[in-house]
A and B are shown apart, each in its own frame.
Chain A
Amino acid sequence: MTVQPLLSVIDLGISTIQDPRVLVNNVSFHINPGEAVGVVGESGSGKTLSALSILGLLPRGVGVVSGEILFNGKNLLTLKPEELRQIRGNEIAMIYQDPMTALNPVMKLGKQLLEVIASHDGIDSESDNRVRALLSEVGIPDVNRAMESYAHEFSGGMRQRIMIAMALLLSPKLLIADEPTTALDVTIQQQILALVSDARKKRDMSMLWITHDLGVVANLVNRLNVMYAGRIVESGTVEEIFRRPKHPYTAGLLSSLPTSTGTNRERLTSISGVPEKPWLVGNSCGFAARCSRVQSRCHNEIPLSVAKDDSTVACFFPIGSK
């Protein structure tokens, strides 16, 4: 029996509205209940836009032009704003790279967190305890004082914890995390990763984690989508992608990263050139100009994702094939 996915993104296309420029094309992936899925890509690859579109939070001037986003079977793209607002926060919550985008700088934290409950569930006698319990779960040392403090009085790591508490407040089924640890120091990043990982397992919550750092997701998620120039070029289990990458981009990226320990200092194999803009790719593979396995077909045709077992690859000449 197959599991009904919690979220299915089907053939998603995102583009600027005026002077149409394709930003995301043909993106399909799913998240099962309780599963953690990662999206890895460089700046401009479309990873953040794909995530923002799930919650209807695309920036002005950018819109979804094709596809479906099914959450529990409901297409989020056709919901009325009021219906989507009920899902946002209640069922799908999001955390960002910069917590100050999510926190109100002139409102005390206690009030701010209670407001989240008030606007969705309604306040009752238990609300205050709920907020305090969560703040202490995410590792805020002095909860009483924190409730009376403003966001700027905390360090970056503490603000990130507070934002996580806010996201967990309504027990969402899906947490979307857009590079929440990128701006943090590594030891603090480690603390936050451990915190999110524990909180997720405790609640059996699903998660979509967006990052440019392959090292961060290696031990955090079950499956991974690799994005390049607006498309998913490869997807599969973490094990498959890291051990047996099939797309030349994934393989190139992995071999261009130095390891943080060991004695091997052989010259890094680099990928020449720069990432292509999605709207300039046209009728070809977006990676063709930088690819070491490129052939003439790659310049004249778009490789579509081909699924095999639990993984997909969008390449005419994937690694491991003849």
Chain B
Amino acid sequence: MNLEIKNVEKLYKIVSTQTIIHALNGVDITLPRGKTLGIVGESGCGKSTLARLVTGLESPNRGSILWNGLPIHDVNKGSFSTKKSAIQLVFQDPYSSLNPRQRIGDAISEILSVHKLAEKEMINSRVSELLALVGLANDLKHRYPHQLSGGQRQRVSIARALAAEPSLLVLDEPVSALDVSVRAEVMNLLIDLREKLNLTYIFISHDLAMIRYISDLVAVMYLGKIVEFGQWEQVINNPKHPYTQALIQAMPDHTVIGNPESLAKTLEGEVPDPVNLPTGCAFHLRCIKATPACTFATQTLIEISSQHLVACMEVQA
């Protein structure tokens, strides 16, 4: 009972410029059921592409993704292999993921009727149940999305995802668009739901603090590859890859104050173009530890201590 992502590659062809974007370049992850995998990385690292592949919105060019031993997208049958959608996705922006002209109750009941998840006469009570589950008052059923706050809207998105009784929930930056004072509540809700419904999460964020708070396992991505993977305590408090170390240093931290030296640059340059990937280690152009070998040798994820994997020759050496 787990999620297996095996050597997944994803390319996007840009027709107008005849170029190819390498979004994912060989990703391997095994996530046991009931655990939360946090994926952290900057824009263009492939974290959202991975979310789309895991939910079956797109299929990989290479490799496979299995949930409970079954492929997410059965290429031969051209359909999803599970009848109920065992995997659901919650998006970052609850403003654009809800239909502005549909009442909240209808937005949830639609899913129940389309997927035949409840008998007709049971739909109304099931909607109430789902609203209660995410901590929303029952009378919000009759409201429209614009009448709700950002936090309430995100709760509706979570309720819609839960309507399909998923076992795996992919959360793509679920609190990033919310006001700071509302984020903690939604994070606590996600943690409660995980316990109550025995859910498995993939939690995608650029915010390491949120990742640290909710994840069991953490994967750090850079240019379509995982550069570090392991238990959260290991990756966050004992990072080994130079990129992870730089990322952690660059995170604004409200507990370190009045220390202008902390603003010192941790990393030079910007993420290279995913159209023309650098040779060797994708990070070598910005890495302080780079050696000539890094410019041509491909790095693979290797276990450096129990369940802590790093893709860096310098660390492995």
Contact = CB atoms under 8 A, between A and B. Distances in A.
B151 A274 contact: yes
B179 A274 contact: yes
Interface residues of A, number: 49
Interface in B23-58: 42-43
A218 B257 contact: yes
A256 B181 contact: yes
A258 B42 contact: no
B213 A275 contact: no
A263 to B, nearest CB: 6
A280 interface: no
Given A185-B206, A194-B265, A271-B184, A261 B247 contact: no
A256 B180 contact: yes
Nearest to B207: A260
A220 B151 contact: no
A78 interface: no
A254 interface: yes
Interface in B225-262: 233, 236-237, 246-260, 262
Interface string B262-290: 11111110110000000000000000000
A13 B255 CA distance: 33
Q: Most chain-A CB neighbours within 10 Å: which of B207, B213, B254?
A: B254
A189 interface: yes
A218 B258 contact: yes
A224 to B, nearest CB: 10
Interface in B171-203: 179-185, 187-188, 191
A293 B313 CA distance: 55
A218 B254 contact: yes
A144 interface: no
Contact of A194 (B184, B207, B263): B263
Nearest to A275: B179
Nearest to A237: B258
A188 interface: yes
A24 B270 CA distance: 39
B315 interface: no
B137 interface: no
A317 to B, nearest CB: 19
A263 B233 contact: yes
B257 A238 contact: yes
B212 A191 contact: no
B250 A189 contact: yes
A197 B259 CA distance: 12
B209 A194 contact: no
Contacts of B250: 186-187, 189-190
Contact of A260 (B183, B248, B258): B248
Q: Mostly helix, strand, loop or mixed at chain B's interface? A: helix
Contact of A197 (B181, B212, B263): B263
Contacts of A57: none
Contacts of A216: 252
B180 A212 contact: yes
A272 interface: yes
A187 B286 CA distance: 11
B173 to A, nearest CB: 13
Nearest to A268: B184
B149 interface: yes
A257 B258 contact: no
A190 B267 contact: yes
A76 to B, nearest CB: 30
B213 to A, nearest CB: 4
Contacts of B185: 270-272
A258 B212 contact: yes
A259 interface: yes
Contacts of A239: 257-258
A238 B264 CA distance: 19
B170 interface: no
A300 interface: no
Contact of B209 (A254, A260, A269, A272): A260
Contacts of A20: none
Contacts of A155: 270
A133 interface: no
A60 interface: no
Contacts of A157: 270
B237 A263 contact: yes
Contact of B180 (A238, A253, A272): A253
Contact of A219 (B149, B233, B249, B260): B260
Given A256-B180, A268-B188, A186 B251 contact: yes
A103 B106 CA distance: 44
B156 interface: no
Nearest to B271: A185
Given A260-B251, A274-B179, A191 B256 contact: no
A42 B184 CA distance: 14
A220 B181 contact: no
Interchain residue pairs A-B with the least CB separation, the first 3:
A215-B252, A270-B184, A185-B42
Given A259-B209, A260-B208, A263-B237, 17 more contacts: A42-B179, A42-B181, A43-B179, A185-B43, A186-B251, A189-B250, A190-B263, A190-B265, A190-B267, A214-B180, A218-B252, A242-B257, A243-B257, A256-B181, A257-B180, A261-B212, A267-B191
29 contacts: A42-B180, A185-B43, A190-B250, A190-B265, A190-B266, A191-B268, A194-B263, A197-B263, A213-B252, A216-B252, A219-B260, A220-B263, A242-B254, A252-B181, A253-B181, A258-B212, A258-B213, A259-B209, A260-B251, A260-B253, A261-B237, A261-B248, A263-B233, A263-B237, A265-B212, A265-B213, A267-B188, A271-B184, A274-B150
